[in-house]
Amino acid sequence: MSWVPLHVHSQFSILDSTASVKKLAERAAELGLPALALTDQGNLHGAVDFFKACQAVSVKPIIGCELYVAPISRHEKKRIGGQKAGYPIVLLVKDAKGYRNLCKLSSQAYLEGFYYTPRIDKDLLKEHAEGLICLSGPMRGKIAELIMSEEEEELQSELAFFQELFGEDFYLELTRHRMSEEQMRSDRMDRESWLMQASFDFQEKQEKVLRRLVEISKEKGILTVATNDSRYLKRDDWQAQEILMNVSSGEPVEIWERDAQGNPKMRVLNPKRKVQMTHELYFKSPEEMSLLFTDYPEAVAETVRVAEKCEFALDFSSKFYPVFIPPHLEGTKFTPKEREIAAEGFLKKLCEEGIQKRYDQHALAKIAEKYPDKEPMQVVRERLHYEMDLITSKGLGDYLLIVYDFIAWAKGQGIPVGPGRGSGAGSIICFLTGITDIEPLRFNLFFERFINPERVSYPDIDVDICMHRRSEVI
């Protein structure tokens, strides 16, 4: 039976996974998986690398994210009634609209909802649910917790919310991380008797949640999917994963036990360290998942059908740069061509205004010293026309205008901006628009270091912004 991992973490789940996106893709290809999802915690940092890695080994990539939903509002930055700061759900991208929505959710989770972890809330999710598939979440999720606490009324309310919002794109996530006593002893979990018991208790809770989810599936017609919430590549990697968890918490795995005089006696396990209740969070094969879910084979098979719904592909064939909307066009309807013409005209207008502001008699006198055989203003005009022709022919006007826009905003807010650095200081257009404050003719700076007819790649403008207020500009 085939299976698609729909809940997978990589090293981009910061300090919570040891698996690289490249190794995950390669392992998926080794196992003959038709597709693979990446669902890192709160972010899409690994999406591009993951997509390319999957394409390289002919595995269908599915972009997703494990997002945390605040119990009430993402704006509420305090614990409420003993609840967690947020409860995880898994979102998978179906199409381009879904990708844009997931990007928005992830961004807002950091910008507006961050509290221990990036968080969204149900209001934000309702605004950006289109094009997304939702899995109910792992054992840490709200639905699993409500099952454990047997809060049936709230459980039904939670299920109704997600079923109404996502319809047939809402799935109940079944997880099962079984460890035998023999496996526990092999992994030396018996060094601490409480740990073995805690692991058995965890498995019992997991089975209780799983059985109730299957009941709910039958009652409400919500399909189930089998996932493994994987954090590492191979089973033996659990030790590295545990060390990583303690890097996150800052606790050493072992500490010195000391005698009555305070002298170090022997190394012992740190009782404050983080431990895993299971060592089964590795990237499993379809065969392993089928054996694990022999009683629920439909949950394994359904993962393939979920993967078939996901048709989004990142487009690397073109570059998608932002365009500049001139102030007089804001709030109006216009064609792409009208905007392009208006933006070019706006850039020329800025340059003309810049000539009046920047080139007083003193500045022109300095140019005359450098170019004694020409009228100073003629030198300025010739350089401006040369640069403008090259910039417009290469379609770089929008690029310069966007840089002009955020620098002008920063200066308007009283945020210090550097005078110019790098090749951009050689452009008279950068000088005239206020991007730089270095007059290139006086210092004999070459525009061709910035842009030239043979250069294929985009030019770069180095901008120095006051470190204390840089985030405002970003």
**Residue 433: predicted pLDDT:** 98
For 2, 27, 178, 288, 438, the CA distances from 291, given in Å and listed in that order, are: 12, 19, 11, 5, 70
CA distance 247 to 315: 37
Pick the CATH number of 21-309 from 2.30.42.10, 3.90.1170.50, 3.20.20.140, 2.60.130.10: 3.20.20.140
3-state secondary structure the chain: CCCCCCCECCCCCCCCCCCCHHHHHHHHHHCCCCEEEECCECCCCCHHHHHHHHHHCCCEEEEEEEEEECCCCCCCCCCCCCCCCCEEEEEEECCHHHHHHHHHHHHHHHHCCCECECEECHHHHHHCCCCEEEECCCCCCHHHHHHHHCCHHHHHHHHHHHHHHHHHHEEEEEECCCCCHHHHHHCCHHHCHHHHHHHHHHHHHHHHHHHHHHHHHHHHCCCEEEECCECECCHHHHHHHHHHHHHHHCCCCEEEEECCCCCEEEEEECCCCCCCCCCCCECCCHHHHHHHCCCCHHHHHHHHHHHHHCCCCCCCCCCCCCCCCCHHHCCCCCCHHHHHHHHHHHHHHHHHHHHHHHCCHHHHHHHHHHCCCCCHHHHHHHHHHHHHHHHHHCCCHHHHHHHHHHHHHHHHCCCCECCCECHHHHCHHHHHCCCCCCCCCCCCCCHHHCCCCCCCCCCCCECCECCCCHHHHC
How many other CB atoms are there within 10 angstroms of residue 25's CB atom? Answer: 26
3-state secondary structure 184-196: HHHCCHHHCHHHH
**Residue 340: predicted pLDDT:** 95
Q: In this structure, which long-range contacts are made by residues 203-207, counting pairs with CB atoms below 8 Å and at least 24 apart in sequence?
A: 203/177, 203/178, 203/179, 203/278, 205/139, 205/148, 206/139, 206/175, 206/176, 206/177, 207/176
User: Would you give per-residue pLDDT tens digits along the chain (474 residues)?
Assistant: 799 999 999 999 999 999 999 999 999 999 999 999 999 999 999 999 999 999 999 999 999 999 999 999 999 998 887 789 999 999 999 999 999 999 999 999 999 999 999 999 999 999 999 999 999 999 999 999 999 999 999 999 999 999 999 999 999 999 999 999 999 999 989 888 899 999 999 999 999 999 999 999 999 999 999 999 999 999 999 999 999 999 998 999 888 788 777 787 778 888 889 999 999 999 999 999 999 999 999 999 999 999 999 999 999 988 788 899 999 999 999 999 999 999 999 999 999 999 999 999 999 999 999 999 999 999 999 999 999 999 999 999 999 999 999 999 999 999 999 999 999 999 999 999 999 999 999 999 999 999 988 887 889 999 999 999 999 999
CA distance 270 to 268: 6
**Residue 456: predicted pLDDT:** 77
CA distance 95 to 89: 19
Domain boundaries, the chain: 21-309, 327-473
Asked if residue 19 lies in contact with residue 50, where contact means CB atoms within 8 angstroms, the answer is no
**Residue 393: predicted pLDDT:** 93
**Residue 319: predicted pLDDT:** 78
Closest among 110, 92, 100, 103 to 44, alpha carbons compared: 103
For 13, 26, 37, 94, 330, the CA distances from 308, given in Å and listed in that order, are: 25, 20, 12, 9, 41
